[in-house]
Amino acid sequence: DDLVPEHSLNLSADIPGIGPLISFWRPRISPLLNKVVQGRFVWDLLPESFRDVWDDDESHNGRGCVKFMNANGREVKMDTVYRGQMMNFIVRGPIVEPELLADWRHPGGFKFSRKKSDLEGRHKTIAMIRRY
């Protein structure tokens, strides 16, 4: 039996004696993460609040963020499951560039939209549109 209850702290939490968690973790995580992603394409499927933890030194070959949208163009909120399903596909591929998503049918009914995506430059936004 685990006597410690399940819990999590928001990254904006300010811990007495430590300070904000984002400020605590950024210098510890960023150098390691920057070393691992150097020269690679990064799939950034993290929630927006987690992105502030990484001080990106731009040593990677590009970074792709994903947005899930309904057919009416509104962004889908609470998309954690959809992001997880997409990451599963990316890792199994492995998919190393956004254009390779073109033929994939997401289990949640989403499909890659080249028209709604921004694939120019190093920071790409990949739009996944729900088709029903």
3-state secondary structure 32-99: HHHHHHCCCEEEECCCHHHHCCCCCCCCCCEEEEEEEECCCCCECCCCHHHHHHHHHHHHHCCCCCHH
Give pLDDT, residue 89: 94
Angle at 55 (CA atoms; ends 54, 56), nearest 5 degrees: 95
Q: Which domain holds residue 29?
A: 14-130
Number of domains in the chain: 1
Three-state DSSP class for 114? strand
* Average predicted confidence (pLDDT) for the chain: 91
Q: Is residue 5 part of a domain?
A: no
Task: Give the pLDDT score at 42.
Answer: 94
Grade residue 1 by pLDDT with cuts at 50, 70 and 90: low
With respect to residue 36, please indicate whether it lies within any of the assigned structural domains.
yes
Count of residues making up the chain: 132
Please tell me which residue, 118 or 49, carries the higher pLDDT value: 118
* pLDDT band, residue 96 (cuts 50/70/90): confident
Does a structural domain hold residue 6?
no
The reply to whether 54 falls in a domain is yes
* Residue 74, in any domain of the structure: yes
Q: What is the pLDDT of residues 28-78, one digit of tens each?
A: 999 999 999 999 999 999 887 788 899 999 999 999 999 999 999 899 988
In a domain, 3, yes or no: no
| The overall pTM is greater than 0.85 | no
In a domain, 4, yes or no: no
Residue 123 tokens read as: 């920071």
